[in-house]
């Protein structure tokens, strides 16, 4: 079993500010990184995110902003970094495709594949979608509109360089089908989708260049001064350029891309094909091992429509985090929809989770427990006492929780992991209602009351530890409020949101 963990997010295009869809991938990756740091130690986890800064649409955005491309991407990358820090994203590195470490690595990778004979020059004719930066073969468009974004395509004829995807098709099918690689593409539905695509279509070689007259803002091909690299061949390399280098013999070295490490790519389902077809073949052609898992999550939709800049329905993640609190926002995204499926985003949805799970369940449990400690024991957690039967159920659940978390996090099931934690919260709240501590106090049953309070504290402490990867600030506050022996009670963590009609 690998004892190190390397997790990546897509690198985001900088032509537009991030919306909640982008923040979703980063919050999920952040939660996994934090969870694994707790499990494996900080030094054994590496979390990478970054920005994708080349291509025609970025050049266009720079022109519109009346800035040079580099000035524009510098500003935009700063905004992304700033956003991630405000959302408590704990990435260890931030890769930009305009950094020299990346450019060097892309050019080296291109040379290696070219020398190997897997890149050739040919005439290209086809339909091109500039906003998506994608070529569409004639067979895939019926009306000259982009099958993805539905905008008009441009008819193009030029000389370009092609990467021999077709040569590797059989290898890839075999690799994905190998039972040892059952968790290579996840969830299983996406694995089936990729396999059925590969089994029903003949892969066309991938055009990996653009003539410099049509696109000046890109990485020059090392073997043609008239061309720059297609954005995806440039962008995908970020996962290796950020953590390692090729040596003089064209062997790639990295402490984070080695057999000791579980390498995981989180992506949205929109870019599954690039990650599950182009990228594996690029790695194979470069003689580099495959990642362990490529997980494609679903989309956040607004009234059944995908959220995207082109549809004009984007929601600003910072606005949501400021309005409802960062941890409530993180909680909602991870809890409301099973990772992998699509979800509908609405503020009513956040408020429902906030008032229910956070205010009524978690906030209430902590506040009422600390209030009892103040009232009955002047703020000092009592020692001793003996437990009754329902207390032992809670003890058992406390012991089982780390295992439940391990299972659910191992399968990227954030919502289930949170359900497991909330099972304990709810059991403990029920325990308070059933035990009726106010009666124990009245009747002078001190031994029982002490054990009862101690168990509540133990349950809350475990909840505090286990929610840390999901809701880091809340976890910190819980642990702080519990104190060492003396508690430090604050206001309720999640005061109910009153809905005005």
Residues lying near ligand MSP in the complex (CB under 6 A) are found at 10-13, 21-22, 24-25, 52, 235-236, 238, 267-268, 270-271, 299-300, 306-307
Q: Name which of 343 and 382 has its Cβ closer to ligand MSP.
A: 343
383 closest CA partner among 484, 488, 489: 484
Other CB atoms within a 10 A radius of the CB of residue 195 amount to 16
- Compute the distance between CA of residue 325 and CA of residue 59 in angstroms, rounded to an integer: 35
Shortest reach from residue 270's CB to ligand MSP, in Å: 5
Least distance (Å) between residue 240 CB and ligand MSP: 11
Could you list the beta-strand ranges (E) of 257-410: 261-268, 293-297, 300-302, 305-306, 343-344
Segment (H or E) for 350: helix 347-353
Nearer Cβ to ligand MSP (231/468): 231
Strands 93-96 vs 293-297: parallel, antiparallel or unpaired: unpaired
Looking at residue 341, the DSSP 8-state letter turns out to be B
Q: What six digits make up the tokens of 75? A: 């500003």
CA distance 33 to 79: 22
Cβ-based nearer residue to ligand MSP, 413 or 477: 413
CB of 414 to ligand MSP, least distance (A): 14
Minimum CB separation from ligand MSP for residue 213, in Å?
Answer: 24
The least distance separating ligand MSP from the CB of residue 234, rounded to whole angstroms, comes to 9
Q: Which is nearer to ligand MSP, 172 or 271 (CB)?
A: 271
Asked if the bond preceding 187 is cis, omega within 30° of 0, the reply is yes
Phi and psi of 50, rounded to 5°?
170, -165
* Non-local CB neighbours of 332 within 8 Å, separated by 6+ positions: 324, 349, 350, 353, 354
Least CB distance to ligand MSP at residue 468 (A)? 24
CB of 428 to ligand MSP, least distance (A): 34
CA-to-CA distance for 312 and 317, rounded, in angstroms?
15
| Residue 219 or 271 with smaller CB distance to ligand MSP | 271
- CB nearer ligand MSP, residue 5 or residue 299: 299
Question: What's the closest the beta carbon of residue 48 comes to ligand MSP, in angstroms?
Answer: 11
The residue among 113, 111, 94 whose CA lies nearest residue 242 is 94
214 versus 306: smaller Cβ distance to ligand MSP: 306
Shortest gap between Cβ of 501 and ligand MSP (angstroms)? 30
Contacts by residues 82-87 (CB-CB < 8 Å, ≥ 24 positions apart): 83/17, 83/18, 83/23, 83/317, 83/318, 84/26, 84/49, 86/318, 86/321, 86/326, 87/23, 87/26, 87/27, 87/30, 87/317, 87/318, 87/321, 87/326, 87/330
- Closer to ligand MSP by Cβ: residue 218 or 382: 218
Q: Which of 191, 85, 75, 168 is nearest to 119 (CA)?
A: 168
Task: Tell me how far, at minimum, the Cβ of 73 lies from ligand MSP, in Å.
Answer: 13
Closer Cβ to ligand MSP, 62 or 366, answer by number: 62
Nearest residue (CB) to ligand MSP, 82 versus 122: 82
Q: Kindly state the smallest distance separating residue 228's Cβ from ligand MSP, in Å.
A: 16
Q: Within its chain, how far is the Cα of 59 from the centroid? A: 27
User: Rounded to the nearest 5 degrees, what angle is found at the Cα of 148, between the Cα atoms of 143 and 149?
Assistant: 85
Residue 461: closest CA among 437, 436, 480: 480
The residue to which tokens 């339909």 are assigned: 127
Minimum CB distance to ligand MSP, residue 14 (Å): 8
Other Cβ atoms closer than 10 A to 109? 26
In the complex with ligand MSP, which residue's Cβ is closer, 238 or 355? 238
Choose between 238 and 428: whose C-beta lies nearer to ligand MSP.
Answer: 238
Cα 437 from Cα 372, distance rounded (Å) = 9
Residue nearest to ligand MSP (CB): 21
């Amino acid at each position: 079993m690998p004892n190190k963990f390397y997790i990546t997010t897509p690198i985001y295009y900088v032509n537009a500010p991030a919306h909640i869809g982008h923040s979703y991938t980063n919050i999920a990756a952040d939660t996994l990184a934090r969870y694994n740091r707790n499990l494996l130690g900080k030094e054994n986890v590496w979390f990478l995110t970054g920005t994708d800064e080349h291509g025609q649409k970025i050049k266009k955005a720079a022109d519109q902003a009346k800035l040079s491309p580099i000035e524009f991407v510098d500003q935009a990358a700063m905004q992304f970094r700033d956003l991630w820090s405000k959302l408590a994203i704990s990435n260890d590195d931030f890769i930009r495709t305009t950094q020299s470490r990346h450019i060097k690595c892309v050019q080296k990778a291109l040379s290696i594949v070219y020398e190997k004979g897997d890149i050739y020059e040919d005439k290209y004719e086809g339909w091109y979608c500039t906003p998506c930066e994608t070529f569409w073969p004639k067979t895939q468009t019926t009306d000259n509109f982009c099958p993805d974004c539905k905008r008009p395509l441009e008819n193009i004829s030029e000389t370009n360089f092609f990467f021999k995807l077709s040569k590797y098709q059989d290898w890839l099918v075999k690799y994905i089908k190998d039972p040892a690689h059952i968790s290579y593409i996840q969830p299983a539905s996406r694995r089936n989708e990729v396999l059925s695509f590969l089994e029903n279509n003949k892969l066309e070689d991938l055009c990996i260049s653009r003539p410099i007259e049509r696109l000046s803002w890109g990485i020059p091909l090392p073997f043609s001064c008239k061309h720059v690299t297609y954005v995806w061949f440039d962008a995908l390399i970020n996962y290796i350029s950020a953590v390692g280098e090729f040596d003089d013999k064209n062997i790639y070295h990295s402490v984070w891309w080695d057999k000791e490490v579980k390498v995981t790519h989180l992506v949205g389902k929109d870019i599954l094909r690039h990650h599950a077809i182009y990228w594996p073949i690029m790695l194979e052609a470069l003689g580099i091992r495959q990642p362990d898992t490529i997980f494609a999550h679903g989309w956040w939709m607004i009234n059944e429509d995908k959220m995207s800049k082109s549809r004009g329905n984007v929601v600003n993640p910072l606005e949501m985090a400021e309005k409802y609190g960062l941890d409530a926002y993180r909680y909602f995204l991870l809890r409301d929809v099973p990772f992998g499926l699509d979800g509908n985003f609405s503020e009513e949805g956040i408020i429902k989770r906030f008032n229910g799970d956070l205010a009524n369940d978690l906030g209430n449990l902590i506040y009422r427990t600390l209030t009892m400690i103040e009232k009955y024991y002047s703020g000092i957690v009592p020692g001793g006492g003996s437990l009754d039967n329902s207390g032992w159920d809670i003890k058992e659940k406390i012991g089982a929780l780390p295992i439940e978390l391990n299972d659910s996090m191992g399968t990227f099931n954030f919502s289930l992991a949170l359900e497991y934690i909330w099972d304990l919260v709810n059991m403990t709240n029920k325990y308070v209602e059933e035990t009726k501590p106010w009666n124990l106090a009245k009747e002078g049953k001190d031994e029982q009351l002490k054990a009862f309070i101690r168990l509540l504290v133990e349950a809350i402490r475990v909840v505090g530890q286990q929610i840390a990867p999901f809701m880091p600030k809340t976890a910190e506050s819980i642990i702080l409020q519990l104190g060492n022996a003396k508690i430090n009670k604050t206001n309720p963590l999640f005061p109910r949101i009153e809905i005005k009609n």
